[in-house]
């Protein structure tokens, strides 16, 4: 059985299944509910039940005061929903509301996406998951190797399991260590999040995503978040690469196209110095270019030409840009 939950004061609504915690249901729906441990230890996720019935899953370690219990304040990670419900809860809606965090994660596994790209999976402690917004970055620190800033490829709905796409780069120590074989259980310090390459959740305009090679990581996070929010407007994804191996999850992208009625995916081979011309072509393909929202993550060395194209098309106000740094 499932129940409807409305959050005040935002008015956001989501569906909670009878077998999942109230917190998990909200995160699964793509909402940025404040939380840290998700197991009843810290009390950070506390909400107030304004209407509706619930059932305790487990007794939390965090001790609620008699007044809090009388006011129907609960830890949503520790309760099941038993009727339609209205709750009062905090939501992190922007960068200003996102706390800076530092935690120690461990390598869960490293997947080979192709000969040039690895997907690093980190798992945080249950007592300290990472809270972030889709499209943001964190800095990873590997002892004896150094630091590397990377975009999260994960959906914010799961702050315990973090994904990163890392290309082979002999000039970067972190990449060399990963491709040499990073053992399961290896400790990795995580700091962040940073960045404002964020989804406009209130927009109902068509979404155009344009990613260059491993910049797809940030776009994956944005698209998964949009799907979790059940955003219904058309979405178009253009994945650009200078070589075919620059794209490495093409079947995954095609699965979005197969599953979603208003999703279009296109692969484009383009040399970096022809990027601006390709961008002009993509913009020209949109029936009403100025009526769309654009999310572009492209090579930093092409920033001047990309910005010029957007200016000439009158799209600066509806574009969000993120740059991939040079090697």
**pLDDT the model gives residue 327:** 58
Residue 35 confidence (pLDDT): 82
Q: Which residue has the tokens 């090579």?
A: 299
Nearest one of 58, 169, 179, 188 to 119, comparing CA atoms: 179
* The CATH number of domain 207-324, selected from 3.30.365.10, 3.40.50.80, 1.10.10.10, 3.40.800.10: 3.40.50.80
Say what the pTM is. Answer: 0.87
Residue 173 CB-density burial (10 A; 0-12 exposed, 13-18 middle, 19+ buried) = middle
User: What distance in Å separates the CA atoms of residue 65 and residue 123, rounded to the nearest whole number?
Assistant: 32
Q: What pLDDT sits at residue 46? A: 94
Ranges under pLDDT 50 in the chain = none
pLDDT at 326: 66
Tell me yes or no: is domain 95-194 CATH 3.40.80.10: no
Neighbours of 46 (CB within 10 A): 20
Domain ranges in the chain are: 2-88, 95-194, 207-324
What 3-state class would DSSP assign to 185? coil
Give buried/exposed letters for 212-228 (b at 16+ CB in 10 A, else e): bbbbbbbbbbbbbbbbb
Count, residues in the chain: 327
Query: Which SS3 state, helix, strand or coil, does residue 252 take?
Result: helix
Domain 2-88 annotated CATH 3.30.70.870: no
**Residue 42, pLDDT score:** 86
Residue 25: phi, psi to the nearest 5? Answer: -65, -40
């Amino acid at each position: 059985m499932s129940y409807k939950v409305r959050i005040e004061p935002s008015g956001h609504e989501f569906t909670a299944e009878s077998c999942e915690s109230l917190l998990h249901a909200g995160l699964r729906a793509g909402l940025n509910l404040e939380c840290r441990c998700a197991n009843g230890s810290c009390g950070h996720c506390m909400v107030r039940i304004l209407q509706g019935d619930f059932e305790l899953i487990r007794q939390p370690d965090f001790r609620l005061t008699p007044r809090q219990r009388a006011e129907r304040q609960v830890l949503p990670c520790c309760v099941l929903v038993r009727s339609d419900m209205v709750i009062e809860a905090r939501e992190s809606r922007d960068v200003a509301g996102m706390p800076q965090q530092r935690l120690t994660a461990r390598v869960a596994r490293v997947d080979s996406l192709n000969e040039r790209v690895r997907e690093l999976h980190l798992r945080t402690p249950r007592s300290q998951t990472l809270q972030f917004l889709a499209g943001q970055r964190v800095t990873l620190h590997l002892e004896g190797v150094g630091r590397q800033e990377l975009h999260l490829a994960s959906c914010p709905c799961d702050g315990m399991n973090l994904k990163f796409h890392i290309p082979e780069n002999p000039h970067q120590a972190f990449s060399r260590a990963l491709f040499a074989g990073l053992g399961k259980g290896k400790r990795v310090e995580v700091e962040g999040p940073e960045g404002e390459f964020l989804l406009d959740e209130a927009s109902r305009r068509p979404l155009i995503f344009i990613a260059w090679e491993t910049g797809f990581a940030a776009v994956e996070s944005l698209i998964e978040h949009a799907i979790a929010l059940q955003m219904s407007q058309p979405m178009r994804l253009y994945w650009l690469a200078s070589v075919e191996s620059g794209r490495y999850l093409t079947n995954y992208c095609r699965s979005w196209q197969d599953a979603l009625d208003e999703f279009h995916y296109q692969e484009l081979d383009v040399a970096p110095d022809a990027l601006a011309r390709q961008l002009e072509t993509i913009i020209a393909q949109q029936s009403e270019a100025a009526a769309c929202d654009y999310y572009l993550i492209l090579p930093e060395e092409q920033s001047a030409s990309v910005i010029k194209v957007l200016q000439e098309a009158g799209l600066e106000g509806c574009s969000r840009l993120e740059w991939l740094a040079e090697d």
